[in-house]
Structure 1
Amino acid sequence: MRKIVVFFLGFNLMIFAQNNKGDAELEWFEELSEITYEGDYMTAYLGFGQFLEKFPDSELAPRALFNQGYLLRELGRGQEAKRIFERIIEEEYNEYENYGGIMEQYTLYKNRSAKHLAEIFIEEENFVEALKYIKMFDNIYPYKHFCGNELEADAIYTDVMYAKTYHGLGKLDKAIKKLLPHLFYNGLASNNEVMELLSQYLPQLYSNDEVKQFLQEGIQNFKVKDKNYGTFQLLGVKIPVYTYQFYGEGEIEFVSDEGTKNAQAIDEIIKSHPIFEGYFNN
Structure 2
Amino acid sequence: MKKYTYTFILCLLISFFSYAQQHKYNALEKEAFKKALYFAYEDNPRIALHHFKQFAVSYPNSALMPKVTYNTAVLLRDLGDIEQAIPLFRKVLYTEYDYDIIDEDDHKELEKEYIVCKNKSAMHLAEIYLDKRDFKKASTYIYLFDQKHKFDHFCGNEHVAHDMYTAKMYARLYAGQQKHQKAIAELIPFMFQNPFADNDEVITLLGRLLETNYSSQELRSAAEVAVYTIKSTGSDIIIDFLNHKVKIERATIIDDLDRYKNFVKSNPLIKKYLSETQS
Could you say which residue in structure 1 is the equivalent of 2:201?
193
Corresponding position of 2:54: 50
Question: Which consecutive unaligned segments of at least 5 residues does structure 1 have?
Answer: 100-104, 246-250, 255-263
Aligned partner (choices 61, 67, 87) of residue 65 of structure 2: 61
Please give the residue correspondences for 1:1-282 in structure 2 after superposition, counting only pairs within 5 Å.
2-6=5-9, 7-8=11-12, 9-17=15-23, 19-20=24-25, 22-93=26-97, 98=109, 106-107=113-114, 108-219=116-227, 221-226=229-234, 229-244=236-251, 253-254=256-257, 267-282=261-276
How far apart are residue 207 of structure 1 and its match?
0.5
TM-score (norm 2): 0.82
**Contact 2:224/2:274 (8 A) holds in 1:** no
Name the Cα RMSD after superposition.
2.7
Distance 2:21 2:70 in 1: 21
Letter in structure 2 aligned against 1:4: T
Q: Secondary structure at the match of 1:189?
A: coil
Paired residue type of 1:128: K
SS in structure 1 at match of 2:8: coil
Which protein is richer in helix relative to its size? 2
Q: Quick one: which amino acid aligns to residue 231 of structure 1?
A: I
Q: Which amino acid aligns with 2:195?
A: G
Residue deviations 1:29-74, cap 9 Å, x none?
Answer: 1111112223332332232222122212212111111111111101
> Contact (CA 8 Å) 2:240, 2:246: kept in 1 or not?
yes
Offset, 1:222 = 4.0
Distance 1:267 1:68 in 2: 48
Identity, in percent, stands at: 30
- Distance (Å, rounded) in 1 between the aligned partners of 2:86 and 2:158: 26
Residue by residue, what CA displacement relative to the aligned partner does 1:215-266 show, whole Å, maximum 9, x if unpaired? 344455544214x732223234321124429xxxxx9713xxxxxxxxx666
User: More displaced, 7-16 or 139-148?
Assistant: 7-16
TM-score (norm 1): 0.81
Deviation, structure 1 residue 106: 4.2
> 1:260 corresponds to which residue?
none
Letter in 2 for 1:39: D
> How far, CA to CA, are the matches of 1:137 and 1:77 in structure 2?
22
Structure 1, 125-134 or 107-116: larger mean CA deviation = 125-134
